[in-house]
A and B are shown apart, each in its own frame.
Chain A
């Protein structure tokens, strides 16, 4: 019983970390219809920034949110405006290739500047363990769990209760009609991309005290994030959140019972089953997928 409880708690901790990484990706896809293959690299840049700022200013890693999140928001806007927007009249796959190119460029830029070294952001006590009943977790993991709930809830409120949020949803549902309401669709795309990247910026800051960062770090997270986005029903924020928790649980249980070398088999096996039996995702529906494509 204690073991079960401990595995569930650890699965949920890991799942909320995945949720934080995936939320921005699904938001960007749901609204702008761009599959952002550079998502992991934005996170890697965010973690690098967190490391640099924490080390040089000597501040608590969480305080770097003040710098990292606005910077990544701006970076997202710049990328949307100068890379993706100019390609909007070409085929969709051209935009996707552009984000793949961006991903490669970002990795190699970091390799050039910093080599392939690991950088460890000071943990500032966030790696200390906490007892939650029978389970043992890191302080930083609890913070990530709470923040992921706030992030998903906050995005939901933003999208449903504010004028800008409604305009973003309207654009996703009917681009033409949105323009006829006077909505500047290019601006909506820019803001959405910015918000999506800012979300992965928050994830980057919270992850940094727990994980070392190198040029390839983004790659290791983004594959799982894509699995989650698809399982959650492409573009659904709540769907991605629940899918992330499921993947986290599968990861924890498979890691314990099958061993860490086989746990990816379990994760991707479940993903394949979902694709075969619910191709529109666990929380999507066929109609939604149709309007997305």
Chain B
């Protein structure tokens, strides 16, 4: 479904990703794990078109999307739920969710989708008229996920959804990721919480210094010595 072939990208003169290749198949939950500054976020931002790819190519459902601007990538069916939520802080929760359905393909399914999302997040339903910035971190993350789902994406990418959240909220977030995957949406998730992520993922890539150093079934990687030492602290 999504393929990155030898992708190099970065910010200005600083290259972050070096010849990075990976693949996500339809219906899978794939995760990219790695330490701080390894290039996880950069990978997602490159796919979504926020960062220009300097060499290599990205294809989605057979179409070359390497140089598409970000808003057109969304139109193709790829949605990124960005790191640190990035809500429209002075808009109401409902308005944030409405913005999620901006993509043409999402507009016709708005009502049905809204009901689905609000059933999944009862807390969000109670807060629809509040300003987004007045919510707690966990609630804001739920709104960010709800907003991302409103686009009816084929591929939903999560950037560090558990960052800065209380442990109980982290488990809720991963529960939601599982449910989204079960409903048939393909998921690419980037996390520092390696333990929890490997439990929900089918396959995993390990990224270090902008390169994929290892990949395999999530189950296998959980048993791998290098992973256990470097990321699980066991």
Cα–Cα, bound, A176→B49 (Å): 11
Could you list 5 examples of A-B contacts with CB < 8 Å? A169-B88, A178-B99, A179-B50, A180-B48, A180-B82
A247-274 interface (Cβ within 8 A of B)? none
Pick the contact of B74: A166, A169, A170, A180 (CB < 8 A). A180
The answer to whether A167 touches B50 (Cβ under 8 A) is no
A179 to B45, CA, bound (A): 11
B95 within 8 A of A: yes
Interface residues of B in 59-89 (CB under 8 A from A): 69-71, 74-75, 79-80, 82, 86-89
Docked-complex contact A170 and B71, CB < 8 angstroms: no
Partner of A182, one of B88, B89, B95, B102: B102
Query: Which residues of A have CB within 8 Å of B100?
Result: 181
B91–A169 CB distance below 8 A:
yes
Which residues of chain A have C-beta atoms less than 8 A from B99's C-beta? 166-167, 170, 178, 181, 183
Confirm or deny: B151 has a beta carbon within 8 angstroms of a beta carbon on chain A.
Answer: yes
> Which of A163, A173, A180, A185 neighbours the largest number of chain B CB atoms within 10 Å of its CB?
A180
Query: Chain B: interface secondary structure?
Result: loop
Also in contact, A163 and B50, with CB within 8 A (given A176-B86, A180-B74, A182-B151): no
Q: Are A173 and B89 in contact (CB-based, < 8 A)?
A: yes
Q: Is the beta-carbon distance between B98 and A166 smaller than 8 angstroms?
A: yes
Q: How large is the interface on B (under 10, 10 to 19, 20 to 34, 35 or more residues)?
A: 20 to 34
Within 8 A of B (CB), among A169-195: 169-170, 173-174, 176-185
CB pair A170–B91 under 8 Å, yes or no, is: yes
A183 to B88, CA, bound (A): 13
B86 touches A182 (CB 8 A): no
**Contact A183 B91, CB 8 Å, known A163-B102, A176-B50, A177-B82:** no
- One digit per residue, 1 when the CB lies within 8 angstroms of any chain A CB and 0 when it does not, for chain B 48-59 equals 111000000000
Q: Which residues of B contact A (CB under 8 A)?
A: 48-50, 69-71, 74-75, 79-80, 82, 86-91, 95, 98-100, 102-103, 147, 151
Given contacts A179-B70, A182-B71, A183-B102, contact A170 B80 (CB under 8 A): no
User: What's the least CB distance linking B15 to chain A, in Å?
Assistant: 19
Q: A167-B102, A181-B103, A183-B102 are in contact. Are A174 and B74 (CB under 8 A)?
A: no
Give A181 to B103 CA distance when docked, in angstroms: 7
> What is the bound-complex CA distance between A167 and B48, given in angstroms?
19
When chains A and B are docked, how far (Å) is the Cα of A163 from the Cα of B102? 8
Whether A180 lies near B70 (C-beta < 8 A) is: yes
Contact B102 A179 (CB under 8 A): no
CB distance from A89 to the nearest CB of B (A): 10
User: How many inter-chain contacts with C-beta < 8 Å in the A-B complex?
Assistant: 65
* Residues of chain B lying within 8 A (CB to CB) of residue A163: 98, 102
Task: List residues of chain A with CB within 8 A of the CB of B75.
Answer: 182
Q: Which B residues touch A173, using CB under 8 A?
A: 88-91
A173-B90, A174-B87, A177-B88 known; 13 new pairs, CB 8 Å cut-off, are: A173-B89, A174-B86, A177-B82, A177-B86, A179-B69, A180-B79, A180-B86, A181-B71, A182-B102, A182-B151, A183-B71, A183-B99, A185-B71
CB distance from B214 to the nearest CB of A (A): 29
Kindly provide the distance from the CB of A274 to the nearest chain B CB, expressed in whole angstroms. 23
Q: Which residues of B contact A177 (CB under 8 A)?
A: 82, 86-88
B152 CB, min distance to chain A CBs, angstroms: 11
Whole-angstrom distance between the alpha carbons of A94 and B49 in the complex?
Answer: 25
CB distance from B84 to the nearest CB of A (A): 10
Q: How distant is the Cα of A176 from the Cα of B41 in the complex, in angstroms?
A: 14
Contact partner of A179 (CB less than 8 A), chosen from B71, B88, B98, B147, is B71
Q: CA separation between A12 and B63, bound complex, in Å?
A: 59
Complex interface: chain A residues within 8 A of B48 (CB): 180
> Which residues from chain B contact A180 at a C-beta distance below 8 Å?
48, 50, 70, 74, 79-80, 82, 86
User: Would you give the shortest CB distance from A293 to chain B, in whole angstroms?
Assistant: 16
Which B residues are in CB contact (< 8 Å) with A179?
A: 49-50, 69-71, 74
Known: A180-B80, A181-B103. A174 touches B89 (CB 8 A): yes
Interface pairs A-B: 4 shortest CB-CB:
A182-B74, A179-B70, A177-B86, A182-B103
A167 contacts across to B, CB distance below 8 A = 99, 102
Chain A contacts for B95, CB-based, 8 A: 166
A181 touches B82 (CB 8 A): no
Using Cβ atoms and an 8 Å threshold, which residues of chain A touch B87? 174, 177
Contacts of B90 in A (CB 8 A): 169, 173
Most B CB within 10 A of own CB, among A177, A184, A185: A177
List A contacts of B49 (CB < 8 A).
Answer: 179
User: A184 contacts which of B71, B89, B98, B147 (Cβ < 8 Å)?
Assistant: B71
Q: Which residues of A contact B88 (CB under 8 A)?
A: 169-170, 173-174, 177-178
